[in-house]
Amino acid sequence: MRFPLALTVKIARHIIKHTLRRTPRFALVLQLEPLHTCNLTCTGCGRIREYSTSLKDMMSLEDCLASAQECGAPMVSVCGGEPLIYPKIEELVAGLLAQQRIVYICTNGMFMRKKLKEHLADTYSPAQEPTLARLLAEKLISEKDAEIIRKGKHDGRPTIKPSKWLYWNVHIDGLEYTHDLIVEREGVFKECVEAVRMAKLLGYQVATNTTVYKESDVKEIEQMFEFFSSLGVDGHTISPGYDYDAAKKDMVKRLGRQPEDFFLTRAMTIQKFAKIQEWAERFTIFGTPVYQEFLAGKRELTCTAWAIPTRNVRGWKAPCYLMTDGHYERYQEMLDKVDWNKYGVVNGIARDHRCENCMVHCGYDPSGALGTNYQRGDTWKNIRYNFAARPKPYTAGRQVKAFNGFSIGKGHLAEANAAINADLAGAKSAFQNNGNKGDSGGACSGGDTSQRDDLLVKVRAAKKA
């Protein structure tokens, strides 16, 4: 099966229950943002920009767990910001699992190995020595890490344990050069790969989570799937980028670029996703085949953003994960008060101009599962997709030259440095090409922009000379 049976049954039951009750709108996946603080400042991220004034705020553990109960979604995607910065992430994951929900931890991967090591320490016994030896041999932990693990963990707090109900969902937007460029820091891709390898070795389920931008190269996305499939990941989520206001403003102000240079229109999305159905045959792409047809431009769907609600420090965010027209105290209040007929694209006409280019999974993937715009054969299509044999790991993916940037001295910062040393014109063009022009002014309180800032200082000095 493409997806574990128990998980598929849980979601199917939830849909059937609400269909029989004729519930007009209900939650399938909760996007839970316990905090918006992040250690990165990715290009195109609206979160750290839109919520720049509340980056230090966070939801209480009780509030997080109560939100999941309140909307009743069978699946919770814990995102942010970077959820591994949330001080009670372990308790949150344990609490959601105790509520019998499917949990995705959407992470940029930078703190994942730390969490895996804590789990190893918590469960350490001499019987684990062969595992430690393998991790050491594969350079996924250091001798010092192994010593700390052997001492055990004695703080009485839970750790994140492998579970069939849990996925690490690691943000990967391309191979090394592209990914590090988008997250605006070198070395992130390498760390993600090591975290994925370590998690798989320890028996966790791991997925990758990719946003496709205008600049994303389709061939590279395919190679990325091949590479991560060869590492044995359990699935991939993929969605087109969306030009939401906060990210747009940041793009213009901080990077000096026009949003249309970066984000996809509908026509471009359809072009980029032309091979999505072929990819879904080769790799375990999460999402319904109906949504895949939509992405490939083969059918229309109506937005069902209410099925993937977002809850954060300000409340229930409406109408969707991307756009903010208000926050509500209660999920039901949001369902009742929002005029859902104002949003989405119907028969090619955008009901709200901001929806015009949107085809994102959090608006349209549930539409495929819920049977909006139902066409004959859709149910069978979804069943066949879910129950089909899972595509085998693509072992030839090991040949993909995934480390094509920082690891071989070709990182975007290294290139910019070289250009600065060569001449100012070169420096300027390196910055423009790599989206690092202008004031760093990132809104993320936890972001380390020191490398980029150093370069900017050098550019300014060169300009004065």
Binding residues vs ligand SF4 (CB under 6 A)? 38, 40-42, 45, 47-48, 80-82, 108, 171, 183, 303, 305, 319-320, 322-323, 343-344, 354-355, 358, 360, 362-363
For 29, phi then psi, to 5°, come to -135, 130
The answer to whether the CB of 459 falls within 8 A of the CB of 425 is no
What residue number has its CB nearest to ligand SF4? Answer: 363
159 vs 269 by CB, closer to ligand SF4? 269
Round to whole Å and give the CA distance between 378 and 369: 9
Name the minimum Å distance from CB 285 to ligand SF4. Answer: 20
289 vs 366 by CB, closer to ligand SF4? 366
Residue 62 CA neighbour count, 13 Å, CB half: 0
Can you say whether residue 49 is alpha, beta or left, with left for phi > 0 and alpha for psi between -120 and 50 degrees? alpha
Token pair for residue 303?
Answer: 């937005």
48 vs 112 by CB, closer to ligand SF4? 48
Name the minimum Å distance from CB 179 to ligand SF4. Answer: 11
Describe the crossing of helices 450-464 and 412-422 by its angle, rounded to 10 degrees.
20
Name the minimum Å distance from CB 119 to ligand SF4. Answer: 22
- DSSP letter for 300, please: -
Name the minimum Å distance from CB 406 to ligand SF4. Answer: 17
Nearest Cα neighbor of 49 from 445, 444, 326, 448 is 444
Name the minimum Å distance from CB 274 to ligand SF4. Answer: 21
358 vs 369 by CB, closer to ligand SF4? 358
Round to whole Å and give the CA distance between 243 and 46: 9
Dihedral angle computed from the Cα positions of residues 257, 258, 264 and 266, in that order, rounded to the nearest 10 degrees = 180
38 vs 141 by CB, closer to ligand SF4? 38
223 vs 239 by CB, closer to ligand SF4? 239
H or E segment to which residue 210 belongs? strand 205-212
Could you identify the residue written with the tokens 């939830």?
14
Name the minimum Å distance from CB 446 to ligand SF4. Answer: 9
222 vs 356 by CB, closer to ligand SF4? 356
Name the minimum Å distance from CB 354 to ligand SF4. Answer: 6
